[in-house]
Amino acid sequence: MERLIHTPAADGYWMPGEYEPHHGTIMIWPERPGSWIYGAVGAREAFAKVIRAIAKSEEVYVATSSSGMASAMEQLGGQEHVHLFIMPTDDAWARDVAPTFVINAEKKVRAVNWGFNAWGGTFDGLYADWTKDNAFAQEVADAYGYECYDAAPFVLEGGAIHSDGEGTLMVCEACLLSKGRNPKLSKEQITQKLEEYLGIKKVLWLPRGIYQDETNEHVDNVCAFIRPGEVVLAWTENEADPQYGLSMATYQYLSDVTDAKGRRLRIHKLPIPDYPVCITKEELAGYAFEEGEDEREAGERLAASYVNFYFTNEAVLIPAFGGENEESDARAVSIMRKLCPEREMILIPARDILVGGGNIHCITQQIPKGQKA
């Protein structure tokens, strides 16, 4: 398709909130042996549960490699509103490699392509070759007929941004100012890029994210808008937990700022699991790491957070960690049900997603409802 030469902001486009109406969701079928243990069997079951839950109220577009199509068809073939298509990627984090979509006042929808370098490139990236992932956003936009703005080589992942749909964007300093992304750009220059390509009026720079988040602390794991003016923040009352100081710093920051509309934010605390979720020896044995790929170790704490949920048109998909954290899972559902009473709460067993490094929000990317521009 013909490439757009302006920026979204110049053309009157902006990034809507995730809780606004969707046309559909983009996902990628898991396969990478260094992310998905034991042939991705458990991960594929978890992904399929997410896909089927989303497909209750919107379309789901699932990319897979040629070799992965058979297993995808086995789990999802014939499922209404699920569209499988072959498009190779390096991994399955659709949030970070699929396009970010923007809309205008006429509800026309366009895509934005960012540079992607595996969360840090040669400085601290998580694998050595990210060529396919970097090409994915533009390829998806072309395949499905969305005009696409090209923000590359500016590096950004979808999990690093959260929009309220009314001009306010949340990001984490620890991530966007990391040396592996855009080291030659100042904070002010990065802010300008976000304003230009997301139609944003104000960027809230949260200081920290979730402990041990290997993305340099993506915002989608620590804080999310549930509606304009209101956020949920990952929290712990345990002062001995390394997360306590990180969440407190972000809480204090959010308490002192206003959004693009001049509103003070309502902050709802969403506690992390009571017990740390860590890699077991059995899980470790299931990985097959490539040269140059970040490796794990037994006992390593994973970045488990209930903030990594996903809004569908009718529901909230909440990760469940199970085991000794069953009470924590139930607490998260109870809190979110009170905050979003108009939506169904769907708890999805997500440990098999978490051992890959992220969670439900990380494997999904929404397409806003509207017409292709």
Residues with catalytic annotation? 362
Closest CA to 168 of 259, 88, 33: 259
User: Residue 71 has which token pair?
Assistant: 């297993």
Closest CA to 247 of 280, 221, 275, 216: 221
Q: Which residues pair with 368 in a beta bridge?
A: 22
Q: How many residues does the chain have?
A: 373
Coil, helix or strand at residue 3: coil
User: Residue 152 has which token pair?
Assistant: 């590359």
User: Residue 73 has which token pair?
Assistant: 């068809």
Closest CA to 303 of 240, 222, 232, 237: 222
**How does strand 162-163 pair with strand 168-172?**
antiparallel
Report the distance separating Cα 89 and Cα 188, nearest Å: 32
User: Residue 10 has which token pair?
Assistant: 């110049």
Report the distance separating Cα 232 and Cα 268, nearest Å: 5
Query: Could you give phi then psi for residue 51, rounded to 5 degrees?
Result: -60, -45
User: Which residue is it, tokens 């794990």?
Assistant: 296
Q: What is the DSSP letter of 262?
A: S
User: Which residue is it, tokens 């079928």?
Assistant: 29
CA distances from 21 to 16, 25, 313 (A): 9, 11, 6
Report the distance separating Cα 351 and Cα 196, nearest Å: 37
User: Residue 45 has which token pair?
Assistant: 């079951």
Query: Could you give phi then psi for residue 282, rounded to 5 degrees?
Result: -65, -45
